[in-house]
Amino acid sequence: MVREEPRAFVHPRRFIAFAVAIAVVFSALTVRLYDLEIVHGGYYHELSEQNRILRLPVAAERGGVTDRRGYVLVRNVPGFAVSVIPVDLPRSRETELFQRLGALLGLPSDSVGDTVRTQRQRNPYEPVRISKTPVPREIAFAITERAELFPAVRVDPESIRLYVDGTLYSPVIGYTGPITEDELGKLRDQGYLGDDDIGRTGIESIYERYLRGTYGWREIERDAAQREIKTLALQQPIVGNTVVLTIDDRLQKLLDAELRKGVEEDRFTQAVGIAMNPQNGEILAMVSIPGYDNNMFARGITTAELAALNADDRHPLVNKAVGDQYPAGSTFKLVTGLSALSEGTATRSTTVNVSAMSFSVSGTTFYDWRAHGPLDFVTGFAHSSDIYFYTLAGGTPFAPNVRGVGPEAIAKYGKMLGFGSRTGIDLPNEAAGIMPDPVWKLTTQDEPWTIGNTYQEAIGQGFVAVTPLQLLNAYASVANGGTLWQPHLLKQVTSPTGAAVPIPQAQPIRKLDISQENLRLLRESARRVVTIGHAYMPKARLPIAGKTGTAEFGAANGKDSAGRNRLGFHNWFVSFVPQADNADPTAQIAMVIFTYDSSKSLCDNCFNPAVGMSQRILETYLLDTK
């Protein structure tokens, strides 16, 4: 019997298949979910945290700089940065805002607009900095108080470097500037960031490692649009260390005042003054005129300002105490004298009868500044007789029995005294100077050495080139009894908590291989330079010893960038002050003054402007009430 099954429309196998499909779907979803959440849960959790949490650096202030007594030379002052968040700026108000900001910040409104539009393309939620240089408090307040006029504008504090006596210390302290891509590539590991400033020159550059602060960080939660939601954690930044210099601000200002006065009176166009403690190499003052105002760099130097500095033929950006080299003139007779004494070709009693003002050797005539008559070592040095030192160096007809010590010996002692190589002072861009000898001439000039070269070398002319610091350091090593110290500016480094940070100890470069007797003879001779009246010091109150030098160079006509007359001569006076009026190695201070383009107004008493300045500075500094 066939009877239609009443429920024949139900296909059980199809239902089973459907049920299997359901099971398969949920099994597949479960397996995948297990893999994502259980097997790889940690990995994805990490990713979600990276999404959400951003570590933002918190800038740390750079450390300050003070003189040896704690007088502040560099500190930080608050400034402000003005930025715009493009997403918050309604398009209808764009033009109005760009004009207003441009007028307030001294920028063309077009460039403000371009900056904002570029950022809108890149990431409209991220503020873009509009102010190119730190904005003063008044402008910042003008913006924040009238916020309705400045939609989408943010004002954030930032810190600007203030160089207290900008121009006075700029050759020593230098300045900072934005880090470059190349530097960032090398320094990123040390925690530098893209908008960091880094020391560019001077102390700011050399002691970057002490001055630089340590970034703090702030962990923020952000949404997908990169907007900050809240701060999750904060690590405070650490302020940089304070660098204490060996400089004495009082002496620095005395030196600067004298040198500046000389420039203003048109007695010379440029000047260098350095003072140091011969007993340990501490630099007490270092002035290079003209300098520049490093605050220009701190607030962001304009292209025009930088072009003007670079175009100035007096090179204000160069610290001439260490960065340029000049003929030493008669101050170099120290080297000639010490080499002849040490090699035994001369003694303190070696006598030369300078009976004429000149003599000729193979067609060339060599001059002295007067016919001195008979001179021994002390009077030859004290009167600065060129012929006396020609004789010690190469022999002359004035003293046929005196054998010249020769250029090799002069070079040997010159190098021993530090000429021809960098002193290693803690400043960048130090020049090495030139200490020539016959081999040097042959290799660099491809010409043989002549007797004329020896004579010129003997009086610090010709190929000899020194930095003011090298010259000072050589005299200091004589003044202290034979130790050539490495000159240095770093006195100590203090952490923000006041603790002393370890710094490298001051090191002597070498002990001079010169007898104490000969060093004493040189100190005695240097004192005679003053007492004999060659470096005349009226009403002297200190037993200053020293040596003058005058070197001819270039054209003595025309005017320099500042409109001052080119006068054609450098003048030197290197001095030191023994504690008593004797030749003991007791000097606590040595000083060099170098005047560039000095007038050659020859008179016995006044021809070297550096002498009078040295007397006034040293007497005021050491004797007058502070």
Partner 1 sequence: MSVRPLAIPRPATPLHDRPVARRWTEIDPILLIVTLLLIAYGLVMTYSTTAETRTFTGDPMQFVIRGALWAGVGLAAMSLVATFDYAWLGTFAPVLYVITLSLLAIVLQLGTATLGAQRSVQIAGLTFQFSEVAKVLMIVVLAKYFADRRSRIGSPLVMLFGLALLAPAVFLVYRQPDLGTSLVFIAIFFGISFLAGARMWQLVGLVAIAGASFPVMWALLKDYQRARLSAFLDPYSDPQGAGWNIIQSLIAVGSGGATGKGLTAGTQSPLGYLPIAESDFVFAGLAEDLGFAGAIILFALYMFLLFAALRVAFRARDPFGMLIGGGVATMLLFQILVNVGMAISLMPVTGIPLPFISHGGSSLVSICFALGVLQSVSMRREPEGP
Structure tokens, 245: 């210099």
Backbone angles phi, psi at 226, to 5 degrees: 70, 15
Q: Footprint of partner 1 on residues 286-315 (CB under 8 A)?
A: none
Specify the residue, 224 or 603, whose C-beta has the smaller distance to partner 1. Answer: 224
Among 22, 311, 580, 623, binds partner 1 (CB under 8 A): 22
Backbone angles phi, psi at 301, to 5 degrees: -75, 140
Residues in the chain: 626
Distance in Å, CB of 56 to partner 1, minimum = 16
Among 1, 304, 555, 623, binds partner 1 (CB under 8 A): 1
Q: Of 218-226, 299-307, 426-434, 502-510, which segment contacts partner 1 by CB under 8 A? A: 218-226
Q: Does 225 bind partner 1 (CB under 8 A)?
A: yes
Name, in order, each residue with C-beta under 8 angstroms of 372's C-beta and a sequence gap of 6 or more.
Answer: 354, 379, 380, 383, 385, 387, 388
Q: Does 501 bind partner 1 (CB under 8 A)?
A: no
Q: Footprint of partner 1 on residues 152-171 (CB under 8 A)?
A: none
Distance CA 258, CA 262 (A): 6
Distance CA 402, CA 388 (A): 10
Q: Does 21 bind partner 1 (CB under 8 A)?
A: yes
Closest by CA position to 59, among listed 175, 141, 156, 164: 156
Distance in Å, CB of 35 to partner 1, minimum = 9
# residues near partner 1 by CB under 8 A: 43
Q: Does 114 bind partner 1 (CB under 8 A)?
A: no
Closest by CA position to 477, among listed 416, 565, 537: 416
Distance in Å, CB of 30 to partner 1, minimum = 6
Q: DSSP secondary-structure letter at 135?
A: B
Name, in order, each residue with C-beta under 8 angstroms of 72's C-beta and a sequence gap of 6 or more.
Answer: 64, 65, 66, 164
Distance in Å, CB of 26 to partner 1, minimum = 5
Distance CA 176, CA 181 (A): 15
Distance in Å, CB of 120 to partner 1, minimum = 17
Among 88, 195, 223, 584, binds partner 1 (CB under 8 A): 223
Q: Does 25 bind partner 1 (CB under 8 A)?
A: yes
Specify the residue, 55 or 600, whose C-beta has the smaller distance to partner 1. Answer: 55
Specify the residue, 5 or 624, whose C-beta has the smaller distance to partner 1. Answer: 5
Among 126, 158, 221, 343, binds partner 1 (CB under 8 A): 221
CA 45 to chain centre: 50
Distance CA 213, CA 198 (A): 11
Specify the residue, 29 or 234, whose C-beta has the smaller distance to partner 1. Answer: 29
Specify the residue, 12 or 504, whose C-beta has the smaller distance to partner 1. Answer: 12
- Which residues on adjacent β-strands are paired with residue 282? 488
Distance in Å, CB of 118 to partner 1, minimum = 19
Please, what is the angle between helix 407-416 and helix 386-394, to 10°? 110
Terminus-to-terminus CA distance in the chain, angstroms?
136
Distance CA 73, CA 285 (A): 13
Backbone angles phi, psi at 52, to 5 degrees: -95, -35
Q: DSSP secondary-structure letter at 542?
A: S
Specify the residue, 4 or 189, whose C-beta has the smaller distance to partner 1. Answer: 4
Distance in Å, CB of 29 to partner 1, minimum = 5
Distance in Å, CB of 230 to partner 1, minimum = 9
Q: Is 470 helix (H, G, I), strand (E, B) or coil?
A: helix
Distance in Å, CB of 85 to partner 1, minimum = 16
Specify the residue, 11 or 600, whose C-beta has the smaller distance to partner 1. Answer: 11
Q: Which amino acid is at 482?
A: G
Specify the residue, 12 or 363, whose C-beta has the smaller distance to partner 1. Answer: 12
Specify the residue, 120 or 523, whose C-beta has the smaller distance to partner 1. Answer: 120
- Which residues on adjacent β-strands are paired with residue 222? 228
Distance in Å, CB of 31 to partner 1, minimum = 10
Among 93, 154, 218, 222, binds partner 1 (CB under 8 A): 222
Q: Does 26 bind partner 1 (CB under 8 A)?
A: yes
Q: Does 121 bind partner 1 (CB under 8 A)?
A: no
Please, what is the angle between helix 249-264 and helix 609-623, to 10°? 150
Q: Does 20 bind partner 1 (CB under 8 A)?
A: no
Q: Sign of the CA dihedral 440, 443, 445, 449?
A: positive
Nearest 5°: the CA angle 111, 295, 563 is 100
Specify the residue, 28 or 501, whose C-beta has the smaller distance to partner 1. Answer: 28
Q: Footprint of partner 1 on residues 247-276 (CB under 8 A)?
A: none
Give me the DSSP letters along 568-595: -EEEEEEEE--SSSSSSS--S-EEEEEE
Specify the residue, 11 or 541, whose C-beta has the smaller distance to partner 1. Answer: 11
Residue indicated by tokens 């949490």: 53
Specify the residue, 14 or 626, whose C-beta has the smaller distance to partner 1. Answer: 14
Q: Residue 477, class by beta-carbon neighbours within 10 Å (0-12 exposed, 13-18 middle, 19+ buried)? A: buried
Distance in Å, CB of 115 to partner 1, minimum = 23
CB atoms within 10 A of CB 183: 13
Q: Footprint of partner 1 on residues 31-90 (CB under 8 A)?
A: 32-34, 36-38, 40-45, 47-49, 51-52
Distance in Å, CB of 17 to partner 1, minimum = 8
Q: Does 124 bind partner 1 (CB under 8 A)?
A: no
Residues that bind partner 1 (CB under 8 A): 1, 3, 7, 9-12, 14-15, 17-19, 21-23, 25-26, 28-30, 32-34, 36-38, 40-45, 47-49, 51-52, 221-225, 229
